[in-house]
């Protein structure tokens, strides 16, 4: 049974206020956070914590990202309706749902088979319809569906994968946390075939982007 009651809605409004206080201003991102039942994306034992601004464990030793982090990355992407967006690290599907709410055509890759399967059926069940979910290695991107208007990497990348920059459309934006222990949130904007603008933001902490699939 899928439940989203007034208590969840109330807590979600508090989460919206926290995310705003931390500096998120994009109206569409705020609306998505206010709308998506985050508690359903987590194990029921964490249900009471679902509207705290924190990361929590999901299956396969992975985490659902902190809502502020999801909002921050999404805001930097500047998603417009109809954009083709590639997400690396489907995980719980929460970020995928945010992108769907913004009207993006979402393509997402997950390297943990268990999560890939679970999240694929869950998203379908609650009515989110990404264009394509794939089980595979995000370092390689999705060459068959490239180019993408936006790319968001939701695991900590030790370096910037060349394949991903290559799959970005000219004018496109990629948001990627780069680093080992902690990660610097980095925005790349593709100016032309060979030119990228790079902007760095603050430090964040993600589970690592691992090579190959599991």
Q: Output the smallest distance, CB 17 to ligand SAH, in A.
A: 21
Sole binder of ligand SAH in the list 73, 95, 167, 183 (CB under 6 A): 95
Decide: is 75 part of the binding site for ligand SAH (CB under 6 A): no
- Residues 210, 214: Cα–Cα separation, whole Å: 9
181 burial (CB, 10 Å; 0-12 / 13-18 / 19+) is exposed
Question: For ligand SAH, how many residues bind (rule: CB under 6 A)?
Answer: 23
Decide: is 178 part of the binding site for ligand SAH (CB under 6 A): no
Overall residue count recorded for the chain in this entry: 214
Decide: is 91 part of the binding site for ligand SAH (CB under 6 A): yes
Nearer CB in complex with ligand SAH: 197/211? 211
- Residues 140, 164: Cα–Cα separation, whole Å: 7
Q: Which has the closest alpha carbon to 173: 145, 211, 154, 147?
A: 147
Decide: is 109 part of the binding site for ligand SAH (CB under 6 A): yes
Based on the residue annotation, tell me whether 65 is a catalytic residue of this protein.
Answer: yes
DSSP state of 192: S
| Contact assessment for residue 26 and residue 16, using Cβ atoms and an 8 Å cutoff | no
Residues that bind ligand SAH (CB under 6 A): 62-65, 88-89, 91-92, 94-95, 109-112, 115, 137-139, 154-155, 207, 209-210
Catalytic residue set = 65
């Amino acid at each position: 049974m899928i439940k989203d009651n007034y208590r969840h809605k109330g807590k979600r409004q508090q989460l919206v206020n926290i995310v705003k206080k931390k500096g998120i201003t994009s109206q569409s991102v705020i609306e998505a956070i206010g709308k998506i039942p985050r508690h359903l994306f987590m194990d029921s034992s964490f249900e009471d914590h679902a509207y705290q601004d924190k990361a929590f464990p999901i299956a396969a030793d992975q985490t659902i990202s902190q809502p502020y982090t999801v909002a921050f990355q999404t805001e930097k992407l500047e998603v417009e309706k109809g954009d083709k967006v590639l997400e690396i690290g489907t995980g719980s599907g929460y970020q995928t749902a945010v992108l769907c709410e913004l009207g993006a055509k979402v393509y997402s890759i997950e390297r943990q088979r268990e999560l890939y399967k679970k999240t694929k059926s869950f998203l379908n069940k609650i009515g989110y319809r990404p264009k394509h979910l794939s089980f595979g290695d995000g370092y390689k991107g999705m060459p068959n569906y490239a180019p993408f208007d936006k790319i968001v990497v939701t695991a900590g990348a030790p370096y910037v994968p060349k394949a991903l920059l290559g799959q970005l459309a000219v004018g496109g934006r990629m948001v990627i946390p780069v680093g080992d222990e902690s990660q610097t949130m980095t925005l790349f904007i593709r100016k032309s075939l060979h030119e990228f603008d790079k902007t760095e933001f603050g430090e964040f902490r993600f589970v690592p982007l691992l090579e190959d699939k599991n």
